[in-house]
Amino acid sequence: MKAVVVDYHMGNLFSVRQACEQVGFESVISSKKEDVDHADAIILPGVGAFGVAMEHLKKNDLVDVLKRNIEQKKPFLGVCLGFQLLMDRSTEFGEYEGLGVFRGSVKKFPARVRKIPHVGWNTLRVNEGNASCSRVFKDIGYDEYYYFVHSYYVDTREDVLTTTDYEGFSFCSAIAKDHIWGLQFHPEKSARQGLKLYENFFQYVKGINR
């Protein structure tokens, strides 16, 4: 199975690729449209600012390509900023439009949260009512820890897979709908259970390409 790790100059892609290879993907780091079109799965990673990220995607002509591939039901994994970009819009340093795959917005943590960014390990409250739940968390306990680093969070009611509590503030930490998985945390930095999530994504991609 071939995965394209979309390179739009937002952060360290090395570890994402490392995780892909570890679980069996053939992977390529690329910003080329053809590579996105030809891959069996798309992984959109990224750290940094939402507006800058959208600009880079536009500059590389990737916005329509990503949207089209998502519409055509190609498996898609968004991580951190790559998850946030799936939303309608963001209010990070101004108003920006996202890929608009889900209705929701990206917002800064409220002022009552004392330490921002939210950096470190945290747990998930899993919504077992989400149809993708057993697929994403296959053979993973619900009480595992994952590594987060972000100052903005996704505010949405659609297709929430997990929520997480930080300093008493609860936010959506993962979304899943059919072939689209979005994770606020970094599975490639979340030790064994993080790699297991990548493996579950790999198995899903393999399953639908059989």
Partner 1 sequence: MKNIRVIPRIDIKGPNLVKGIHLEGLRVLGKPEDFARYYYEHGADELIYMDIVASLYGRNSLRDIIEKTAREIFIPFTVGGGIRTLEDIRAILRAGADKVSVNTAAIKDANMIREAARKFGSSTIVISIEAIKEPDGRYLAYTDCGREHTGIEIVAWAKKVEDLGAGEIFLTSVDKDGTGEGYDIELIRRVSETVSIPVIAYGGAGNCEDIVNVIKDGKADAVSMSSVLHYGVIGNKALDESSFQSEGNITYLKSGKVFSKIEPHTIESIKNSLKASGIMCRH
* Maximum pairwise Cα distance, the chain: 49
> Taking CB under 8 A as the rule, does residue 145 contact partner 1?
yes
Q: Which residue has the tokens 């936010």?
A: 171
* Catalytic-residue membership of 186: yes
- Of residues 62, 48, 49, 60, the one with CA closest to residue 13: 48
List, in sequence order, every beta strand (DSSP E) within the chain: 2-6, 26-30, 41-44, 76-79, 87-90, 96-97, 102-108, 118-123, 125-126, 145-150, 152-155, 160-166, 169-177, 180-183
* Nearer to partner 1 among residue 45 and residue 69 (C-beta): 45
> Taking CB under 8 A as the rule, does residue 140 contact partner 1?
no
**Phi-psi map region of 120: left, alpha, beta (phi>0 left; psi -120 to 50 alpha):** left
| Out of 28, 47, 63, 140, the residue judged to bind partner 1 by CB under 8 A | 47
* Catalytic-residue membership of 20: no
> Taking CB under 8 A as the rule, does residue 151 contact partner 1?
yes
Stretch that binds partner 1, among 61-69, 83-91, 117-125, 129-137 (CB under 8 A): 117-125
> Taking CB under 8 A as the rule, does residue 194 contact partner 1?
yes
| Out of 11, 45, 75, 104, the residue judged to bind partner 1 by CB under 8 A | 11
Task: Summarize as ranges the residues that interact with partner 1 (CB under 8 A).
Answer: 10-12, 14-15, 18-19, 47-49, 114-117, 119-122, 145, 147, 149-151, 165-168, 186, 188-192, 194-195
Q: Mind telling me the catalytic residues?
A: 80, 186, 188
